[in-house]
Chains A and B, each alone.
Chain A
Amino acid sequence: DAKTTQPNSMESNEEEPVHLPCNHSTISGTDYIHWYRQLPSQGPEYVIHGLTSNVNNRMASLAIAEDRKSSTLILHRATLRDAAVYYCNRAPAGGYQKVTFGTGTKLQVIP
């Protein structure tokens, strides 16, 4: 039970922005929101994480709703290398924090 909800698949044209939504309506006040992705035939890799404020890094941006019940991963310019399954995960700070993977969103990037 990943306790998050994501669309099964999305498509984007190359070099256009992509907004990948995630619903985590039962999130607690201390849970972080993590995004991982899995490129074909590779292990999962970290993308970004946040708690309350929007976050930016070299890979993506994370927009977190004010009530924290949803978030959006933003890829500013999708490339063919961004084609992957994207997983949204919530995890409490500290502790052993296994990552519970749902089915994720399979992003297809169209050249």
Chain B
Amino acid sequence: EPEVTQTPSHQVTQMGQEVILRCVPISNHLYFYWYRQILGQKVEFLVSFYNNEISEKSEIFDDQFSVERPDGSNFTLKIRSTKLEDSAMYFCASRPGRAGQGRWETQYFGPGTRLLVL
């Protein structure tokens, strides 16, 4: 079965640095998402992306965050100036969104990128 992939699996950065987390969603999927999970806490929605624009974002997704789908296959999350509290596991997800394409209402999650901000 096709999978969502994410790179890197782990990233360590200094506070104030920019990081870019990369995701390759499943081909032909139309909806893309980022979530994060701080250690020991629940998974939190960050942003959804459809038709090359943000469709919904949470309060967490402030001006320090941005998303991009630069080339039709990658989906990136950028954090411009990382803070200690950005340390978390970041999950990318995609969804077919079109009836007739398998589980079209279901999100497929990647394995995550563990970000540690020092």
Contact = CB atoms under 8 A, between A and B. Distances in A.
Interface residues of A, number: 22
Most central of A34, A46, A91 by chain B CB within 10 Å:
A46
Main secondary structure of the interface of B (DSSP, over half): strand
Contact of B106 (A34, A87, A100, A102): A34
B82 interface: no
A96 B31 CA distance: 7
A46 B108 contact: yes
A101 B93 CA distance: 14
Nearest to A32: B105
A44 B109 contact: yes
Interface in A24-49: 32, 34, 36, 38, 42-46, 49
27 contacts: A34-B105, A43-B109, A43-B111, A44-B43, A44-B91, A44-B109, A45-B109, A46-B106, A46-B107, A49-B105, A91-B105, A93-B105, A96-B31, A96-B56, A97-B31, A97-B95, A97-B105, A98-B33, A98-B48, A99-B43, A99-B45, A100-B45, A101-B35, A101-B43, A101-B44, A102-B42, A103-B42
